[in-house]
Structure 1
Amino acid sequence: MKVEYLSHERLPDFVAYCKKHKAEIDDSFLYDDHLANFQPNEENPTYILTNQEGELIAAASLIISDYHRRGRKARFRIFHSEVENIESYNLLMQEMVKQTTGLDEVFLFVPFANDKLAKFMEQLKFTAERYTFLLVRGDEAVPEFTVPEGFEIRPYRLGVDEEAWCTVRNAGFANLKGSETPQTPDMVAKMMANNDYIEGASLIFYHKGRPVGVIRGSVDEYEDAPIMNIGPIVILPEYQGKGLGRILLRYLLHFAKQISYDRTILCVNSENERAKALYIQEGFKQVEGVTCYTFQL
């Protein structure tokens, strides 16, 4: 077996490999629009493993964006081998570690159903840090709601509301595993400029002019069909427990139906029991679960 940095010539093989195996692993960054303009570089260091015939049999690729560097954590886009032995993972891991200067850890999500990959991660000394559930809501009717007096929900405005968004998101997620790293206004603007942006689906909840909550809906795909991905959903800590998250969620669910999204999807950490209970009450059903495995560098 031979491990090498992904070249431009092998890029089509890498993309084909990702599409072939994405159903077995966390495919959050393996959709067609993510792979269409993919290039291996400092933000996306990528290695492949080939057999004696030169066929691609394993691949590993990290995502090291500005956000990940700020948090000193990099996420795997893919870490997978068709050869079911630890050697192939070891060979890839040895090369990937060389690309992580300045970082403290790397992590990936492994579906509960993929026992084999979980065992390989444990052999590589990855540790199960947390568990995340995927919830889907079908075409059920959305309950009505009333926005309390003094409160207002407004669409996010590009170039205007980045600071307000950060204020809410960073305060609300300060202690949420996996999201502790603060976002900057530039990061928010870049997120809103992505191809998954839906006009009018990013919202800010205000109380007497103060931003107290945010929610975002974006283009996604589940079971080969379009779906609206909801997240983040954040309410400032001092405003929690007042039903505002439920109102914000119902507002976006109504909007989703108006623009012909019959289904919505979201993720929630296992320790965030109150949020998960809310989503279940609002018609979401758990369909999948993943384990976040981390490796300390």
Structure 2
Amino acid sequence: MRIEKLKQDRVNEFLSYCKKHKMELDDSFLYEEDLQNFEPNDENPTHILTNQQGIIVGAVSLMIDDYSKRGKKARFRIFHSEMDNIECYTRMMEAILKHTEGLEKVYLFVPFTNIKLVEFMEGLKFEVERYSFVLVREELEVPAFRLPPGYDIRPFHSGSDEETWCEVRNAGFAKLQGSETPITPEMVQKMMTSEDHIEGGSMILYHQNRAVGVIRGSDDEYENSPIMNIGPIAILPEYQGQGLGRSLLRASLQFAKEKSYSKTILCVNADNERAKALYIQEGFEQVEAVTCYKYELSEE
């Protein structure tokens, strides 16, 4: 086996490898739209493992954008080998760690069903950070909702609501493991102009003229069929526990129905028990479970 830094002339082979194995992995960043502009660079350090014939049999790639740097943690886009051998993963890990200066940890999500990868993570001294669940709601009637007096839901307006979105999202997620790092207006602008954006799918909940909640519905795919992805859902801490999240969720579900989506999907941290209970009550069912594994980096 040979480990080498991915060069431009082999990017298409790397992308083919990602697409070939994405169903075995957390495929959050392995969709066509995620890979179409992929470039191996400082933000996407990538190494490939090749056999004696020069064929790619393993790949490791980190995502180190500005958000990652501010949070001092980077997520794996892919960490996979066709060879069921801990030595292959060890060599790829050694190569990718050379790109982690300034970071405190790297992490990835592993489906419960990928037993082999779970074993390799434990063998490489990764630790469980948290668990996350994927929930899907089939086409069902959307219960009516009524906002308290003084509240209303308004569509997100590009060019004026980016700062507002950040304030609500960052306050609502300040203590949510994995999402503590604040986002910026520039990140919101990019999100609202991405290919998965649905006009009108991003909404802001106001109490009088104060923004207190946000929710986003975006175009996605699940089991080769279109589906609307719901998230983030955030409510200011002082407004939580009043049923406002349920109202926002139902507003998003109603929007999905109006846009002819037969299913909706969302993710929730296992430790966010109240949120998961709400989603189950609203007709969602758990379809997948993943473990977030972290690798703490030494200060040396």
Q: Please list the CA deviations of residues 220-243 of structure 1 after superposition, one character each: whole Å capped at 9, or x if unmatched.
A: 111011111111101111111111
Q: Which runs of 4+ in 1 moved over 6 A?
A: none
1:258 aligns with 2:258: yes
Q: Identity rate of aligned residues, in percent?
A: 64
User: Corresponding residue for 1:9?
Assistant: 9
User: Corresponding residue for 1:98?
Assistant: 98
**In 2, Cα distance between the equivalents of 1:183 and 1:172?**
12
User: Corresponding residue for 1:41?
Assistant: 41
How far residue 12 of structure 1 moved from its aligned partner, in angstroms, is 1.2
User: Corresponding residue for 1:164?
Assistant: 164
How far residue 99 of structure 1 moved from its aligned partner, in angstroms, is 0.7
How far residue 9 of structure 1 moved from its aligned partner, in angstroms, is 1.4
How far residue 32 of structure 1 moved from its aligned partner, in angstroms, is 1.0
**In 1, Cα distance between the equivalents of 2:96 and 2:275?**
35
How far residue 53 of structure 1 moved from its aligned partner, in angstroms, is 0.4
User: Corresponding residue for 2:85?
Assistant: 85
User: Corresponding residue for 2:57?
Assistant: 57
User: Corresponding residue for 1:25?
Assistant: 25
How far residue 84 of structure 1 moved from its aligned partner, in angstroms, is 0.4
User: How do 1:266-285 and structure 2 match up within 5 A?
Assistant: 266-285=266-285
How far residue 6 of structure 1 moved from its aligned partner, in angstroms, is 1.0
User: Corresponding residue for 1:236?
Assistant: 236
**In 2, Cα distance between the equivalents of 1:11 and 1:273?**
41
User: Corresponding residue for 1:133?
Assistant: 133
Q: Structure 2: state its 5+ residue gaps.
A: none
**In 2, Cα distance between the equivalents of 1:92 and 1:291?**
20
Normalised TM-score (structure 2): 0.98
**In 2, Cα distance between the equivalents of 1:32 and 1:165?**
27
1:184 aligns with 2:184: yes
Q: Structure 1: state its 5+ residue gaps.
A: none
> Given residue 157 of structure 1, which amino acid in structure 2 is its aligned partner?
H
How far residue 263 of structure 1 moved from its aligned partner, in angstroms, is 0.6
User: Corresponding residue for 2:218?
Assistant: 218
Q: What is the alpha-carbon root mean square deviation over aligned residues? A: 0.8
User: Corresponding residue for 1:123?
Assistant: 123
Normalised TM-score (structure 1): 0.99
**In 2, Cα distance between the equivalents of 1:100 and 1:224?**
35
**In 2, Cα distance between the equivalents of 1:21 and 1:233?**
30
> Given residue 94 of structure 1, which amino acid in structure 2 is its aligned partner?
E
> Given residue 119 of structure 1, which amino acid in structure 2 is its aligned partner?
E
**In 1, Cα distance between the equivalents of 2:194 and 2:113?**
30
